[in-house]
Amino acid sequence: MKVSWSSPSWQLRLLPGLSITGFIVLTRLLGLLQPLEWKTLDLSLKWRPAEAPDPRITLLAITEEDIQTALDYPISDQALSEFLETVQSYSPRVVGLDIFRDQPVGDGYTALAQTLQSSDNIVGIHKIDPRATVPPPPSLPDSQVGFADALVDQDGFLRRSLLGAADKAGNYQFSFTIQLVSSYLANDGLSVENGMRDPETMRFGSTEIPRFQSNTGGYIRADRGGNQTLINFRAGTQPFEKITYKALMAGQVEATLIQDRLVLIGYTAESVKDFVSSAAIAGVTPSLVPGMDAQAHAVSQILSAVIDGRPFLRGMPDGIEYLLILGSGLGGMILAQWERKPAVHFLVIIVISGVILLVSYGLLLTSWWLPVVPVVAAFLLNAAVLYPFYQAQAQLRSQLNDRQKLINQTYNTIHNGPLQTLAKMISTWPESQPAPDTLRPELHTLNRELRDIYDTMRQEILLPTGQLVLTGQQSIDLQMPLDELLREAYQITLERHREFFEPILKIVAFEPLDDQQLSIDQKRNLGRFLEEALINIQKYAHGTTRLTIDCRQKDGNNVIRVLDNGSGLKPSAPKTLGGYGTKQAETLARSLNGTFNRTHHKPKGVCCELRWPIYRPLWQRWLP
């Protein structure tokens, strides 16, 4: 790969890439990439290798079949009491009741109240959302109750767990998740405390739960109210053991699946509609994740972190994220300047993009959330979109280098041949030897003009393409209207040969010409045509006293006419012959679909005329 940063215009070469990368950063800061980053996170979490079922958690599900055959909905207090008593007979460490029970349901309220009051390992739920508050079970103390409010993103999907928040009365409440974890770890002498590295977060022992911030991962200015954390969902299609109500009540359960475990009780029946949406959980329909399962993932990640050292899902610091985006954009810019065939270039883009995705996936396996969407976007857009731009620049540089080599070779040939001969003639010509008065000055002029060829040609290739460099190294902007360009070329040429043209009577008319269809090269050649015509008068039209320049539109044509009253054409010269300038004028006329004529003007003089048709749109050509 050949990339040069030594050019003085390297800042300009960086500008397009920096603009694209800045656009990606701005798009991200505006939050427009959030949905893509969320979906990418969900899919990456879902595609992780399966983990073994959490040995500490068992789900007890009330299914659609249970409701239709053995229970009503909602489950009555009597049936719930019997269910809890059966569960307690297996000696679970903690029982999480993910069913609202703020008021009596059917028969058996007294029995349920006694069961709840006599069990210090049962944790119930309530809701603290001011828009839909649900009180806790009255028979449970505050230490055995946690709120079950779900925290969903703008797309309706669950990715965060709300661990603590203030209720509408301003009292701080712990979530159902934290109360379950606290009850489970109490036997190990651990309780929820303030963090040590981050005093505002929660910790159990030495394990701190990373607090969600407004810009964590792919989030932009998200609500970070309360105490939140990202959910590192347990991978695999069977993250937890699951038992149905029917199987438990029939005694078809191994005691080890409940004994000393955290048991979650909740509905999985579709008719109950106790579901959340999550695309990060394998093996389930994204919109039909039971709320009990979501609670189990939130609880499992904390227990696994405290007991097994399983990492929490974390975002990278903002500074590192944006450095990665800028770095990938720079990498794309460098690759875009790689002078290779398009097929090879785009194959490399695909490979590098795949490597970035694999690195992102590998980091996620270690629970680091890389902003892969803006990183890949910055790389792809710079590498793909800028490739034609940089290749065109490289081709232009190559052409300029080739032209420079040709100029050097041409000048060396002239310098080592005609120039040396001419210099020898000038230096060895004795001052005393007779010669025509004008010969010696003309030889010196010829020597100077030949040497100026190199500088003139070199200046033209170094200037922007929209410049015309006349003999003498004066440049003209080719973007100006054609009549102004011709006037400028006329004035520069006359000034350069003032001694000849100053005493001559000049009749000049530069009227607007139709140049809307002319290319830059054609306008350049028209400027050179006028310069050549004037120089020919200076060289060959001896005795000229009047010069007429007429540039105008006439009879549906653009006309450039240069007329002198000098010595005229030599009668002996064949009409078909012409010098290099004549051949160039004829070539120019053909490119314009026009004509060039160089004729004798009576009584004396020469008329050079170039004319080409005025452009008319196709629809106008059919009009009379």
Q: Phi and psi (nearest 5°) for 113?
A: -60, -45
d(C-alpha 130, C-alpha 340), whole Å? 63
Tens digits of per-residue pLDDT, 347-378? 999 999 999 999 999 999 999 999 999 999 99
pLDDT computed for residue 536 by the predictor:
86
The residue with tokens 């003032």 is 498
When pLDDT is averaged across residues 444-462 and rounded to a whole number, the result is 61
**b/e burial code for range 386-409 (CB count within 10 A of at least 16 → b):** bbeebbebbeeeeeeeeeeeebee
Kindly give the pairing relationship between strand 94-97 and strand 262-267. Answer: parallel
The residue with tokens 């999907």 is 157
pLDDT computed for residue 253 by the predictor:
94
Domains of the chain: 1-30+316-442 (no CATH), 34-315 (no CATH), 463-621 (3.30.565.10)
pLDDT computed for residue 345 by the predictor:
87
Name the residue type at position 410.
Answer: T
CB of 152 within 8 A of CB of 228? no
pTM of the complete model beyond 0.95: no
d(C-alpha 124, C-alpha 376), whole Å? 45
CB of 151 within 8 A of CB of 298? no
Tens digits of per-residue pLDDT, 114-144? 999 999 999 999 999 988 899 999 999 999 9
Give the number of other CB atoms < 10 A from CB of residue 1: 9
Q: Radius of gyration (Cα) for the chain, nearest Å?
A: 44
Beta bridge partners of 172: 166
551 falls in which pLDDT band (50, 70, 90)? very high
d(C-alpha 451, C-alpha 412), whole Å? 10
pLDDT computed for residue 602 by the predictor:
84
Point out the least confidently predicted range of 313-317, 334-338, 389-393: 389-393
CB of 161 within 8 A of CB of 228? yes
CB of 180 within 8 A of CB of 282? no
Q: Strand (E) positions, 259-413?
A: 262-267, 275-276, 289-290, 314-315, 368-369
pLDDT computed for residue 450 by the predictor:
63
pLDDT computed for residue 1 by the predictor:
44
pLDDT at 170 over 50: yes
CB of 64 within 8 A of CB of 271? yes
CB of 299 within 8 A of CB of 57? yes
d(C-alpha 190, C-alpha 205), whole Å? 6
When pLDDT is averaged across residues 333-353 and rounded to a whole number, the result is 88
d(C-alpha 390, C-alpha 334), whole Å? 10
Give the number of residues written for the chain.
624
Mapping DSSP to helix (H, G, I), strand (E, B) and coil, where does residue 157 land? Answer: strand
Asked if the peptide bond before residue 603 counts as cis, ω within 30 degrees of 0, the response is yes
Q: Is 427 exposed, middle or buried (0-12, 13-18, 19+ CB in 10 A)?
A: exposed
Tens digits of per-residue pLDDT, 571-615? 655 544 456 678 889 989 999 999 999 998 888 899 999 999 987
145: CB partners within 8 A, 6+ apart:
123, 124, 125, 126, 136, 137, 179
Q: Is 607 exposed, middle or buried (0-12, 13-18, 19+ CB in 10 A)?
A: middle
When pLDDT is averaged across residues 269-288 and rounded to a whole number, the result is 91
Name the residue type at position 162.
Answer: L
Residue 283 C-alpha from the chain's centroid: 34
Q: Is 454 exposed, middle or buried (0-12, 13-18, 19+ CB in 10 A)?
A: middle
Tell me the average pLDDT of the chain: 87
Instruction: Kindly tell me the sign of the dihedral angle through the C-alpha atoms of 49, 52, 57, 61.
Output: positive
Kindly give the pairing relationship between strand 546-554 and strand 505-510. Answer: parallel
Number of H helices, E strands in the chain: 18, 24
Asked if the peptide bond before residue 74 counts as cis, ω within 30 degrees of 0, the response is yes
434: CB partners within 8 A, 6+ apart:
none
Cα 159 to Cα 201, 205, 323, 417, 495, distances in angstroms? 18, 25, 25, 82, 79
What token pair was written down for 588? 């120019």
d(C-alpha 527, C-alpha 513), whole Å? 13
What token pair was written down for 55? 């040995």
Residue 526's H or E segment, with its range, is: helix 520-540
**b/e burial code for range 84-94 (CB count within 10 A of at least 16 → b):** bebbbebebbb
d(C-alpha 5, C-alpha 389), whole Å? 16
Which DSSP string do the residues of 468-500 spell out, in sequence order?
EE-TTS-EEETTS-HHHHHHHHHHHHHHHTHHH
